[in-house]
Homo-oligomer: A and B are copies of this chain.
Amino acid sequence: MAQLTMVQAINLALRQEMERDDRVVVLGEDVGRDGGVFRVTEGLLERFGAERLIDTPLAESAIVGAAIGMAAYGLRPVAEIQFMGFIYAAVDQLFAHAARLRSRSRGRYTCPLVVRTPYGGGIKAPELHEESTEAFFCHMPGIKVVVPSGPYSAKGLLTAAIRDPDPVLFLEPTRLYRMMREEVPEDDYTLPLGQARVVREGTAVTVIAWGGMLERVLKAVVPYDADVIDLLTLNPFDGATVLASVRKTGRAVIVHEAAKTGGFGAEIAATIAEEGILHLRGPVLRVAAPDVTMPLPKMEEHYLPGVEQITRTIDEVLRY
């Protein structure tokens, strides 16, 4: 077992799945020769050749669209969108097609496709390189949305995503790519999609987060008796784990780095308001970015929720 970064863990997952299953192919911009702009696919071209590590032209809709055709034909494509800010051009292929191929054909054709993309803020990158609009994709039945929060979960979830019989959007928190190392087994393991992870147990408040925010949440909760839930899969999300925790603590704080209005925190809060309200002692609070688009680097720390903001919100809900 080795201490790996998230980039290495994802690379390992791809490598192992490609070894295991010749249906797995990777396509995207600069994924081959260059090994990806974050080096996530480094060394895979050398190992698997240009037929399985496909450098495509600069065309996001075609990357996802072609991957749909490949998936329907029987392959297991893993498409990379270079940054989440460029996935919008592929939304039509994702929503009108990937999500619906199985239902449109009443099960005759399926779409076992993974779309990977770096996402989230905090890396001081140019415009559109730090989007965190995961909520868009959580309102489309037929697509799963998965967000790892570290190297270990990245490998286990990506392996599960590649083996999943349906399309999965796999969002990789860019800020975490090299921020930490974790023990990541060489062995084949998967983490089940749709299952949250209780990272820390407590009884006073439930704090729910995913991806790049989890690290900040874990810093913020140190002085509190908090249950911390790492959602891992956003769609379908693990309502049972969330509700069990809220029933125990009676208080909920949801943290995400996307703009507040319409963010995925809304769905979690709504679910709690619908199914857990009788156990609540106070409001369900959301810590989120303000309702503006991601600014350029000089402003990004004013935008992203910080530890202090999380602490303040926990304090607020503890007043009830």
The answer, yes or no, to whether A62 is at the interface (CB within 8 Å) is no
Given known A-B contacts A270-B269, A284-B274, A262 and B100 have beta carbons under 8 A apart:
no
Q: Does A139 contact B263, Cβ atoms closer than 8 Å?
A: yes
Q: Which of B127, B262, B265, B270 contacts A284 (CB 8 A)?
A: B270
Q: Which of B91, B104, B258, B291 contacts A88 (CB 8 A)?
A: B91
Q: Which of B135, B285, B292 contacts A103 (CB 8 A)?
A: B292
Q: Of A27-35, A177-185, A275-283, which stretch is located at the interface?
A: A275-283
CA distance A199 to B261 in the complex (A): 25
CA distance A61 to B235 in the complex (A): 27
Interface 1/0 per residue, A248-290 and B, CB below 8 Å:
0000000000110111111111101111011010111110000
Q: Does A95 contact B103, Cβ atoms closer than 8 Å?
A: no
CA distance A133 to B95 in the complex (A): 10
Given known A-B contacts A103-B293, A283-B275, A261 and B269 have beta carbons under 8 A apart:
no
Interface 1/0 per residue, A88-117 and B, CB below 8 Å:
110110011001100110000000000000
Q: Does A277 contact B282, Cβ atoms closer than 8 Å?
A: yes
Taken together, the copies of this chain in the complex come to 2
CA distance A181 to B259 in the complex (A): 39
What B residues does A95 contact at CB under 8 A?
88, 133
Q: Does A293 contact B128, Cβ atoms closer than 8 Å?
A: no
Q: Does A270 contact B293, Cβ atoms closer than 8 Å?
A: no
CA distance A208 to B59 in the complex (A): 41
CA distance A91 to B138 in the complex (A): 16
Q: Does B275 contact A265, Cβ atoms closer than 8 Å?
A: no
Q: Which of B139, B264, B284, B285 contacts A259 (CB 8 A)?
A: B139
Q: Does A142 contact B265, Cβ atoms closer than 8 Å?
A: no
What B residues does A262 contact at CB under 8 A?
135, 138-140, 235, 264, 266-267
What B residues does A266 contact at CB under 8 A?
262, 266-267, 269-270
Q: Please give 15 more A-B residue pairs, beta carbons under 8 A apart, in addition to A269-B269, A270-B286, A277-B277.
A: A88-B96, A89-B91, A91-B91, A136-B139, A139-B263, A141-B293, A262-B266, A262-B267, A266-B266, A266-B267, A269-B270, A274-B285, A274-B286, A277-B280, A277-B282
Show 13 A/B contacts (Cβ-Cβ < 8 Å), sorted by A: A85-B96, A88-B95, A91-B92, A103-B295, A133-B139, A139-B261, A141-B291, A141-B293, A236-B261, A236-B291, A262-B264, A273-B277, A274-B286
